[in-house]
Amino acid sequence: MLKTYYFARLLHKLNISSFNKCQIDKTARVASGSALTKVKMGRYSYVGDYTHITDADIGSFCSIGGHCGIGGGIHPSDHVSTSPVFLQGRNILGKNFANIPYEPSKKVTIGNDVWIGEGVYIKSGINVGNGAVIGAHSVVTHDVEPYSVVVGIPAREIRKRFDDEVINQLQAIKWWDWSEDKILENVFLFSDPNMLIRNMM
């Protein structure tokens, strides 16, 4: 029984992630089975397993759960057909009946210190502000404000993590841009936003 478990874990780990035209910080991590295309990701951010991300800028210190879909291709719904065989460029079918120009994707921008739960879908072109939290299995179809908590299908804001004054001050401090030495010097303040602000402002 134990051998079966370890064999299954080994097979899971062998499902290697794929990267295409990506810039991933050396401190960031991407779990097994994920596929990233045209993704820029900052330091100490991570992506869970089996997550697909297309055309996205991801800040630092972000936590992205497994089985998420972020960005992706766009099919023009105002044309006669939505099939890629009528559009410009290569496609999975290997056939082009026409070469109609179109925008294949719109960039998703995810700020710093964002937590995205398991199974979240974020539509192309969305902006997610610093410090936001997106609840598991939410579908994000509109921009997400900094430090807001959103959940549901479609995702709606249920509250802010902090009051407006604290949010504005955290945005001004930009601790995610600090050097590792500065973070370590002040790490004892990270359990209390007000204490961090008092010491930094």
Give the residue numbers annotated as catalytic, written as ranges. Answer: 75
- Dist. CA 112–CA 165, nearest whole Å: 18
Beta strand segments in the chain, E: 18-20, 23-24, 29-30, 35-41, 46-47, 52-58, 63-64, 69-71, 108-110, 115-116, 121-122, 127-128, 133-134, 139-140, 148-151, 156-160
Give the pair of three-digit tokens for residue 72.
């992706």
Residues 6+ apart with CB under 8 A from 158: 149, 150, 151
Residue 182: CB atoms within 10 A of its CB come to 11
Tokens of 155: 């995702």
What is the identity of the amino acid at 99? N
